[in-house]
């Protein structure tokens, strides 16, 4: 019997900080609203995120699919572990493709009121298969989404 090689697991902690001209309540609402998240939660206009189920509460589970537009090849399961409105969200995220695990992450999003808006700190503790590509994919995806969040908040303010 031949033994199947196990892919290596890479670990990293990504810490991203952004400042927004919006209150912590507005930032929190953008995370809590799955329709808003589908708009801003992707890194670029070439990527799509669709939720099959959403349950934004402690113990709740979101199940969605993402990937290139019209090719939603990744399944994303998000489980919420700690939610303090306008202050913090802690969740785990499991990304798979064809039932094979790609990454596991513990993500903490902290919201802090500052002069003229809010400071957001997102900490992503990720374990990923497939070499450094998946880690860099996490970073690029999160950075793009947080940039899109700024545009989402500006659009809401103008409405």
pLDDT tens by residue, 111-150: 999 999 999 999 999 999 877 788 998 899 999 999 999 9
Cα–Cα distances in angstroms (integers) from residue 14 to residues 94, 102, 125, 136, 142, in the given order:
16, 17, 6, 10, 9
User: pLDDT tens digits, residue range 58-84?
Assistant: 999 999 999 998 899 999 999 999 999
Q: In whole angstroms, what is the distance from residue 90 CA to residue 158 CA?
A: 30
User: What span, in angstroms and rounded, lies between the C-alpha atoms of 129 and 29?
Assistant: 32
Q: Does domain 9-158 have CATH number 1.10.10.10?
A: no
């Amino acid at each position: 019997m031949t033994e199947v090689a196990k892919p290596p697991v890479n670990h990293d902690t990504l810490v991203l900080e952004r400042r927004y001209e919006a209150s912590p309540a507005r930032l929190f609402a953008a995370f809590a609203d799955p329709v808003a998240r589908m708009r801003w939660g992707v890194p670029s206009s070439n990527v799509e995120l669709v939720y099959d189920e959403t349950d934004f509460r402690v113990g709740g589970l979101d199940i969605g699919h993402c990937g290139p537009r019209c090719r939603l090849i990744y399944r994303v399961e998000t489980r919420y572990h700690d939610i303090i409105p306008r202050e913090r969200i802690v969740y785990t995220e499991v990304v798979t493709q064809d039932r094979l695990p790609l990454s596991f992450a513990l993500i903490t999003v902290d919201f802090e009121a500052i002069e003229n808006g809010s400071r957001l700190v997102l900490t992503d503790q990720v374990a990923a298969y497939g070499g450094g590509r998946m880690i860099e994919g996490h970073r690029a995806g999160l950075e793009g989404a947080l940039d899109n969040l700024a545009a989402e908040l500006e659009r809401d303010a103008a409405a």
